[in-house]
Amino acid sequence: MKKFVAMLLAAMILLTAMTVFAEEKTVVDWAYGAMPLNNGNVGTIYYTAAYYELEGIVNPTNPEYAPYTAEEIAAIKDGAVEGAEGYRFDAPAAALIGVSVADSDVIFWYDAENAAAIVGHADPLTLDAETGNFVTAEGTAVASPIK
């Protein structure tokens, strides 16, 4: 009986340790790389799980679950950053989209309010590669990244 209790106690300790380490590695949000642009200092636009959830899309790389063409799915897969697990990688919790600086490894992340400002702006915008702000031709900042 003592041996059984000792084994049970050891199993509980192991389970607790596994839970603690698993909590440290929990991904709050993830993103797929999609839509390479390479214009206005923008390299690639990244869409997070929160974005896909808003769109009602379960898995954007599976045509059974996403309303994308084969070419669009290929762009999502090709847009993955180096070192990503599969086509996914970690993103900040508040992020809706990410935007990489053209010819750079820098990615700026934008929350829902700033993502809407980028998408909803009528004038062409340029990404400021230093600050991550999206600006008009006159230099007026329209959207800022998550700090």
Instruction: Report yes or no on 15 lying in a domain.
Output: no
Instruction: Report yes or no on 8 lying in a domain.
Output: no
Instruction: Report yes or no on 62 lying in a domain.
Output: yes
Instruction: Report yes or no on 7 lying in a domain.
Output: no
pLDDT at 145: 97
Contacts 24+ apart (CB under 8 A), 76-85: 76/32, 76/33, 76/34, 78/33, 78/36, 79/32, 79/33, 79/34, 79/35, 79/36, 79/44, 79/46, 80/32, 80/33, 81/33, 81/105, 81/107, 84/33
Instruction: Report yes or no on 14 lying in a domain.
Output: no
pLDDT at 128: 94
Query: Which structural domain range is residue 47 located in?
Result: 27-143
pLDDT (tens digit, 0 to 9) for every residue of the chain, 147 residues total?
444 433 434 334 433 333 333 333 344 566 665 555 667 788 878 888 788 778 777 677 777 777 878 887 777 766 655 555 555 667 888 899 888 888 888 899 999 999 999 988 888 889 999 999 999 999 999 999 998
Instruction: Report yes or no on 10 lying in a domain.
Output: no
pLDDT at 92: 87
Instruction: Report yes or no on 21 lying in a domain.
Output: no
pLDDT at 42: 86
Instruction: Report yes or no on 68 lying in a domain.
Output: yes
pLDDT at 37: 61
pLDDT at 70: 82
Number of domains in the chain: 1
Full-prediction pTM beyond 0.75?
no
